[in-house]
Chain A
């Protein structure tokens, strides 16, 4: 087994596009779940709406890229309204149920053959990233620390990480503002906040929408990095990955999602490449595992990580157990 290759591949995942996409998605969840206590199980839907907003505007309607970004963000806010209005007055589990259902339905709508002319069916859309890559200042391979990247990757990663840092800055600034303190208070005791005359419903809605916008940013980066958008990338597993990342890094911590995403993708990539190499080197008996099954082992591991984290270390790596009270109802 080529350990050098395995290590290089896994280290790459630390700064890779998946880490960016899921860091952004988890930042959104952090606003919703970590700070406000809203159990959004449909972050995949916000990412899909963002990504498809961009892709559809550019590829289907031929309108400018920047307008596509606006439409994606507006779409995510609209989705937050649609999902929030029926559920945010109710207990936390209703939001969870409706959002997970909505994320599946939205994926089905995007991949439906009836709307193929607009959304491209199950194959998705391509050809909406020219504006983005025209702005690329890199024209050669770029070295950064132990890594070197081609010009396209370098541009995607630069923009992506800048976006992640800006998002962290926004979250940090908002959460130390009076507005952010109300959100945290809602997480701790909704009734107390209500008795102080705050409109809890409106604050929850704003939090849901803000988190959804970060989700849309994740969708932008996901589809720009792939230069394509496909509906099946936005399955509920997308959301579950983001939750695992959030809890791994530590909910209600500004950099929790970012660190979580880096560690998560490093571990996942290390495991997947090691297993694949192991299967190729016949370390496992063939009947036990094939390269096809490595993917499912990876997902099983994510499930296991999520379970174990929540049982033994719900505050994650950086979280503060005292601050983090998941269970206010």
Chain B
């Protein structure tokens, strides 16, 4: 099984090259000034609203999307005057556009400037064209955000705007693809571990959070550039995976602990890890220091920040690499043999325990990397594990529990479906689509798209 260790090293090396190659392209100075705020509608946060910040010359400085708390923040290169424009098209259905979609603000040195958008100020009238000069809406400093109650029920947008424009669909598809590729990466570990030892590891989401949080500490507390922090994190995650299997799961297997018992043990691990993160990391949402400011570029119908292209590239390359390892190398074939039939694999001379350990190492390392990428496109917080776990489950069930290719395919499909579903359902409920996918696929094809029948029953 030397070869799998080599393959793992090879993967890490490829990743290193990819990340280092990205370094000059993505180098940015760290931001000490930011502009941000909270978008709320009737006191509830509005997720998924895109805001664009341009400087006084009209050049784009960065974009941000509001998270589940309605928060957004864009780091700025220097103090000065900036225009924040809210993309009215990205507001969810039923949320009125702000009276002023564009607000001019002056940011001082080392200042975290708050900008408040007042949703529905003009009774849901079609938004006027962005008028950067018109700064009638003075930015409210220090206020947590646009917590302005809107009037009554007259908030439905005029009928015409209900049908989504193609541009919006493409935007959602591109977000979904970005999200789905990371999801595929995160799902691989869960599916491979299930494939080899039959354990559904409920603490897998916490392994994703492990990566994000470790990288945050290295990046922000220790001040290491995110690329290096990411590399160190992946190595640490791999070690974590190795230690978990050798120190914990393998002794349990050797004791003859049953799978259901191990599943509940993994829930205990989930609780322990999640609240350990809360203990050390706190309940705040945090950002990395690099790659937060990004200008976006248009490719065909899609619009991506440069960062996103690298995220997708790294995810895709790693998925292909894992596939090739599984298909072409002896070590990969050993993994597939063990997941087919561990007893037969063992009797034909495969050292099953080592294969399982390798799978843990690779799976945890990939989950850790996925965590960093999630942390980049969303934010880092101690609860990210549970949010992602749900989607990982949807992805592996869709693709077929225990199959590597299914996990990747499932991840991509779930990512896109979840984003595109916001066209018809409120974005705060977009994860409900994931449950819907699970239920439907279990009803019509329980083994998943790429699974085999005999695994299920």
Interface residues of A, Cβ cutoff 8 Å to B: 37, 39, 41, 82, 85-87, 89-94, 96-98, 100-102, 104-105, 108-109, 112-114, 116, 121-122, 236-237, 240, 243-244, 247, 293, 295-300, 302-307, 310-311, 314, 326-327, 329
Contacts and interface: CB of A to CB of B under 8 A. Distances in A.
B276 A300 contact: yes
Given A296-B276, A303-B275, A326 B258 contact: yes
B435 A96 contact: no
Interface residues of B, number: 50
6 contacts: A90-B446, A97-B397, A100-B202, A113-B42, A247-B264, A310-B261
A93 B259 CA distance: 9
Task: Kindly name the residue among A101, A293, A299, A327 whose own CB sees the greatest number of chain B CB atoms within 10 A.
Answer: A101
A94 B200 CA distance: 9
A307 B42 contact: no
Contacts of B44: 113, 116, 121-122
A312 B260 CA distance: 15
Given A93-B263, A300-B275, A112 B393 contact: no
Contact of A297 (B279, B390, B456): B279
Contact of A86 (B279, B428, B431, B443): B443
B268 interface: yes
A89 to B, nearest CB: 7
Task: Kindly name the residue among B202, B252, B273 whose own CB sees the greatest number of chain A CB atoms within 10 A.
Answer: B202
Where chain B touches its partner, the secondary structure class is: helix
Contacts of B259: 93, 327, 329
B121 to A, nearest CB: 19
Given A100-B202, A104-B386, A293 B260 contact: no
B269 A236 contact: no
Given A96-B200, A243-B264, A327-B260, A304 B434 contact: no
B159 interface: no
A296 B275 contact: yes
A314 B267 contact: no
A327 B267 CA distance: 16
B181 to A, nearest CB: 21
Contacts of B271: 237, 240, 299-300, 302-303, 306
Given A97-B200, A104-B431, A300-B279, A326 B443 contact: no
A96 B389 CA distance: 13
B272 A304 contact: yes
A101 B457 contact: no
A94 B446 contact: yes
A295 B267 CA distance: 18
B293 interface: no
The 7 closest A-B pairs by CB, nearest first: A327-B258, A303-B271, A303-B272, A113-B44, A306-B268, A299-B275, A307-B268
B263 A303 contact: no
B41 interface: yes
B336 interface: no
Given A293-B278, A300-B272, A306-B271, 14 more contacts: A86-B439, A94-B397, A94-B456, A98-B439, A108-B429, A108-B431, A108-B432, A112-B428, A247-B264, A299-B278, A300-B275, A303-B268, A310-B257, A310-B261
